[in-house]
Structure 1
Amino acid sequence: MMNRFFETIILVGLCLVALVSCENEAIEEPAPNIVLFLVDDMGWQDTSVPFWTEKTAFNDRYHTPNMERLAKEGMKFTQAYATPVCSPTRVSLMTGMNAARHRVTNWTLKKDVIQPMEVNHPQLEFPRWNVNGMSPVAGDSLAVYAMPLPQALHDVGYFTVHAGKAHLGAIGTPGENPLNLGFDINIAGHAAGAPESYLGTENFGNGKEGKEIWAVPGLEKYHGKDIYLTEAITQEALKALDSAVTVQQPFFLYMAHYAVHTPIMGDDRFFQKYLEKGLDSIEAKYASMVEGMDKSLGDIMDFLEKKNIGENTIILFMSDNGGLSAHARGGEPHTHNKPLASGKGSMYEGGIREPMLVKWPGKTKPESVTDYQVIIEDFYPTIIEMAGIDSLQTVQKIDGESFTAVLKGEHEYAGTRPLIWHYPNEWGVTGPGIGAASTVRNGEWKLIYFHADRRIELYNIVEDIGESKNLVADNPEKARELAQLLTNRLKDMNAQMPIDKVTGEHVVYPIELF
C-alpha cells in the first residue's frame, strides 16, 4: 500500500510538472518595442564607428560614443544602402517598395508640381512621377497607395510615435500628416524635408516671413529657449514613450531626425571641441550636429535601461542617403565620403551607402559584423517579422526581403541577390554621378546607367570601393549581363523613363545599348 501511495504521489507530481511545462510553452513572449532611428543625410563615415575594413581620418574626426555603444551591443552592417535622395528612401521604408515601383523618385514638397530644377533640363523631359508622395487612400492622384508600416504595427496593438522629419507627402495631401499614416503621435513632422532653423532661440524658423513652408511645427513650448532642435524632438519623443511604458503597451518609435540636413547650424554643446580639432567653421558645425544626433541615440538607450525595457527593445539605426558633399560643406566638394566616390544625389557609393546598426536583444550577437547587402525597402518586411506579424495583407507588392535570419546569425549573403536603384529625375546640383540614372548591384559587381548621355559604367566594388576604374571595356560580357538584369527588373516594376528632348523618344533601357 505504501509503495502504491508513493507511486501515486510521483505520478501526480509528474503530471503537474508536465502541465506547468505546457502552460509555459503556451505563454507568448511579449511583443518587442521597436525604435527605428533614421538620420538625414548622414554619410557612411560621419561617425567614429568604422564601417570599412580599416579606420579612416573621418572616423577619427567624429565623436559618436553612442553609435559605438550600439555597435558593441548589436550588429554592424558594412554594406547597407538607401536611395540617393530623401523622399524615395522614406517612402520605401514605409511601404517596402523599391523606388522604381512606388515612383516617388525625387523629393516631395508642393502638390501636383515637379521640382523646379526638372522643368527646363537641357537634355531630358522627366516623367510625371508621384510628386504627392504616399497615401493611405486609394485613388489619390500622383501618389502611391500603400499600407504604411506604422499602420500595420498600430493595427496589432503598437503605440506608434513619429518624431522629427516626415517628408512623406506633399503639402495639402493625406501623406503630409503622419497621423494619417498610422502614427498615434506626431512630433514636428510635416511636408518639408528641412528645418528653417535648428535653434529654439529662432523658434525653429517660425515667424520668418516667406519661410513658413520650412518652419518646424508643433514645438511652441521650446520657442525662445536655448535648445537645439535635435534635443527638443528627443525630449518630446521620450515623454511620449513614457506614457506607453506606463500602461505596458508595446511601442514603435520612428525617430527621424532633421539632422544632419542643411542648414548647417552648429550645436553649441559640441561646436567648440571641433574648432579646437582644427576644423573650419562649417565642418566644425557639421560635426557638432553629428554628435548632437548621437547624444539623442544615447538618451533613448539610457531611457530604455532606466525603464528596464532595454532587453525587450529592438533598435535599428540607418541614414536616408549618402553624406552631403556637392555643396554647403567646408573644404573640397565631393570628398567628404572618401574613399567612397561623390555623395548625396549620386549613384556612386558615396550617395547610397549608409551606416547601419541593429540591436535585437537575445537574437543578435553583440559586436557582430556582417557584409550582407541590404537596401532600404528591406526594413519593412524585417520589422513586420520582428513584431510577430505573420499574416499581413498589403495593397502594395513588397520588394524588400527580411534580414532577420542575418540578425540571428542563420544566414550570410551568397552574392546572388540584385539590388536596384532608379532615379529618372534631377536633384539640382552637379557633381560626379549626380543626375538621372539607374543602377544594379549584384554580388561584387555594380553597373550604372546614366540617362542623359546613355553612358554605362561597370565597377567591381570589392576591389575598387572608390569606383575609380570603369571596367566596361575590360569586361563587356559582365556589363551586358548586368544591363539585362537591370532592364528586366525595371520592366517588371514598370519603371518610368525620361524622354530625350532631341529624339522625342523615351530613353532606352540599358540592354538596348548592347
Structure 2
Amino acid sequence: MYLTKILRLGVTIVTALYGSMVFGQNKADRPNIIYVLADDLGYADLGCFGQKKIETPHIDRMAKDGILLSNHYAGTTVCAPSRCALMTGLHTGHTDIRGNKANQPEGQYPISAETRTVAECLKEAGYKTALVGKWGLGYPGSEGDPLKKGFDHFYGYNCQRHAHTHYPDYLWENDMHIDIPENKNGKRKVHSHELLTNNALEFIRQNKEEAFFLYLSYVVPHAELAAPKEFMDQYKGKYQETPHPGGHYHKQDSPKAAYAAMVSMMDSDVGRIRSLIEKMGLAENTIIIFTSDNGPHLESGNDPDFFDSNGIYRGYKRDLYEGGIRSPFVAWWPGKIKAGTKSDHISAFWDFMPTACELAGVEAPEGLDGISYVPALLGQEQAEHDYLYWEFHEKAGKQAIRKGKWKALRLGAKKDKSADIQLFDLSLDPGEKQNVADQHPKLVKEMKHLFANSRTPVEAFPFGDQ
C-alpha cells in the first residue's frame, strides 16, 4: 500500500511538471473553473429561463453577460447518480452509482477506487481543487471519500440524508467533524448555505495565485424548505400558503415563500462569488458554470406547479420526462464567451469531464461518454452526440434516450424489458404530450436496440439483468 502511494505521488508530480512545461508558468493559459450546482432547481426557476415569481438578478446578469444553453441535461433525475455522471464523464448506463443507495450510519455507496473523477484529472494537471457543499458519492473514509477522489479541500455534507436539514449540528471539513454549536439540541441559528458560501469565498481568496477548480455543490432548494429571515421576508405574505406540518423534514408555515427565498439566497451568493472574482482581477481567467442536478422536488410542501418551475416541460424529480432531467445552464467567462449568446447544443452532465480537461489543456480519460462543450461556449463548431441515455432505478425502473429531436421513454423497464416505448418529437411537442410510437415503428425498433446496448450491468445496481 505504501509503495502504491509513492507511485501515485510520483505520477502526480510528473503530470504537474508536464503541465507546467506545456502551459508555462502563466496560469492564464489555464482558467480557474467554478462549477455551481443547485439541488433540485427546476429548469424555469431562473428569470433568464422564464421565471416570473422568484427574483434571480445575479444569475440572470450572468446569462446576459455570458451564454445560456437551452438543451442541457442532468445526469439523471435524483442526486447521487446525477452527480456521479458529472464527476466521471459517464452516463448512468456506465457509472458506478446509478441510484441513491444509503450507507449506515452516514453516507452513500461509493465511487470505486478505479474510477477517475474530474477533480483527480485537474489535480494531476496542477489545479488546486475543492468541493464545498454536498457530496453523496462515498461515505467518510471510503474509497469514494472526496479526499480520495481528487479534492484537496472538502467542506460540507458527506451524506445526502444529513443534507435534509439546512441547520445541521455539524459539517465535515476534510476528514474532521466540525460541530456547529449554534444548531445543537434542535436550535436553528445558522443556515448551512451561509457557511458553504463563506468557505467557498475563502478558498478562492487563498488560491488566487493558483489555477483552481471549485465544485460548489449547494444544497438549496432541496427540502427541507427553510431560509434565513432576511430572504424569507422578501417573499413572506406574497402567496397563499398551505403549511407543511413536518415529519421527515422540518415544519414550514410558508413553504412557497421558503422555496422562493432559497432560490434568491443562492442567486445572491452566486453574485457574491462573481463580485469577488472581479474584484481580485480574475474575471478574464475564470469560467463560472451554473446548473442544477435534476428537476424540482415535490417534498416538504413544495409546489413546482405554482412557480411553473418546469416551464413547458412535463415531469418532476424522479421522472425521466424533460421536467425531471432538463437543467438550466448558464456560463460566464468574460473575454472568451460572447455576452448575450444562446445555444441549443444538446449536452449533459457527463460532458463536464472532457470540457474541464480541455479547459485545463490535458487529455481526458479514455472511454468517456461525454463530449467537450467548450466549442459551443466559445461559438465555434461543436461535435454532437449521436444520442443521450439515462436510466433510473426507482419506481420499477425507467430508461430514456434523446436522439436529435426524438425522445424515447420506457417505464417499468426493471421488471419488463419488453415494456412499451413512448416516443415524442420534441421539435413539435416539447411538453411530451403526444406519444407517436405507433407512427414510427422503425424508430421504435432502433430505440429498443439502444436501450438494450447502452448499458453495462453492475452488481450494486441490478436492473433486471442479474
Q: TM-score, normalised by structure 2?
A: 0.82
Deviation at 1:194, TM superposition (A): 4.7
Among the aligned pairs, what percent are the same residue? 29
Distance in 2 (alpha carbons) for counterparts of 1:112 and 1:285 = 29
Partner in structure 2 of residue 420 of structure 1:
389
Partner in structure 2 of residue 198 of structure 1:
166
Partner in structure 2 of residue 402 of structure 1:
372
- Output one character per residue of 1:42-98: Cα deviation in whole Å (capped at 9) or x when no partner: 110111112xxxx4xxx1111111111110121101011011111111111111111
Deviation at 1:102, TM superposition (A): 1.5
Corresponding residue SS for 1:164: strand
Q: Which structure would you say has the larger Rg?
A: 1
Partner in structure 1 of residue 61 of structure 2:
69
Deviation at 1:360, TM superposition (A): 2.6
Partner in structure 2 of residue 361 of structure 1:
334
Aligned AA (1:97): L
Partner in structure 2 of residue 100 of structure 1:
93
Aligned residue among 109, 113, 117 for 1:132 = 109
Distance in 2 (alpha carbons) for counterparts of 1:399 and 1:493 = 17
- Output one character per residue of 1:144-192: Cα deviation in whole Å (capped at 9) or x when no partner: x3122112211222111111111111355231x3212111111113133
Deviation at 1:267, TM superposition (A): 3.1
Aligned residue among 270, 291, 304 for 2:231 = 270
Question: Are the structure 2 counterparts of residues 448 and 62 from structure 1 closer, same or farther at C-alpha, using a change threshold of 3 Å?
Answer: same
Distance in 1 (alpha carbons) for counterparts of 2:110 and 2:289 = 24
Question: Are the structure 2 counterparts of residues 490 and 195 from structure 1 closer, same or farther at C-alpha, using a change threshold of 3 Å?
Answer: closer
Question: Are the structure 2 counterparts of residues 86 and 146 from structure 1 closer, same or farther at C-alpha, using a change threshold of 3 Å?
Answer: same
Partner in structure 2 of residue 317 of structure 1:
290
Distance in 1 (alpha carbons) for counterparts of 2:90 and 2:463 = 21
Partner in structure 2 of residue 60 of structure 1:
52
Corresponding residue SS for 1:270: helix
Aligned residue among 149, 164, 182 for 2:118 = 149
- Output one character per residue of 1:80-137: Cα deviation in whole Å (capped at 9) or x when no partner: 1011111111111111111111241101331699x9xxxxxxxxxxxxxxx72213x3
Deviation at 1:443, TM superposition (A): 0.7
Distance in 1 (alpha carbons) for counterparts of 2:63 and 2:376 = 15
Question: Are the structure 2 counterparts of residues 89 and 327 from structure 1 closer, same or farther at C-alpha, using a change threshold of 3 Å?
Answer: same
* Further displaced range: 283-292 or 184-193: 184-193
Task: Report if the CA contact (8 A) 2:69-2:329 is conserved.
Answer: yes
- Output one character per residue of 1:223-247: Cα deviation in whole Å (capped at 9) or x when no partner: 57844221111111111221112xx
- Output one character per residue of 1:320-355: Cα deviation in whole Å (capped at 9) or x when no partner: 111113664248699752421120011111110001
- Output one character per residue of 1:450-478: Cα deviation in whole Å (capped at 9) or x when no partner: 21452321111121111111111222222
Corresponding residue SS for 2:193: helix
Task: Report if the CA contact (8 A) 1:49-1:68 is conserved.
Answer: yes
Question: Are the structure 2 counterparts of residues 222 and 146 from structure 1 closer, same or farther at C-alpha, using a change threshold of 3 Å?
Answer: farther
Partner in structure 2 of residue 233 of structure 1:
196
Distance in 1 (alpha carbons) for counterparts of 2:240 and 2:70 = 27
Structure 1: tracts of 5 or more residues without a match: 1-24, 116-130, 138-144, 427-433, 500-505, 508-514
Task: Report if the CA contact (8 A) 1:336-1:343 is conserved.
Answer: no
Corresponding residue SS for 1:318: strand
Question: Are the structure 2 counterparts of residues 238 and 219 from structure 1 closer, same or farther at C-alpha, using a change threshold of 3 Å?
Answer: farther
Question: Are the structure 2 counterparts of residues 234 and 219 from structure 1 closer, same or farther at C-alpha, using a change threshold of 3 Å?
Answer: farther
Distance in 1 (alpha carbons) for counterparts of 2:30 and 2:383 = 28
* Further displaced range: 287-296 or 272-281: 272-281
Aligned AA (2:408): L
Deviation at 1:408, TM superposition (A): 1.4
Deviation at 1:196, TM superposition (A): 4.5
Task: Report if the CA contact (8 A) 1:195-1:205 is conserved.
Answer: no
Partner in structure 2 of residue 49 of structure 1:
48
Question: Are the structure 2 counterparts of residues 240 and 490 from structure 1 closer, same or farther at C-alpha, using a change threshold of 3 Å?
Answer: closer
Q: TM-score, normalised by structure 1?
A: 0.75
Count of residues paired in the alignment: 420
Distance in 1 (alpha carbons) for counterparts of 2:369 and 2:213 = 22
Corresponding residue SS for 1:34: strand
Partner in structure 1 of residue 4 of structure 2:
none
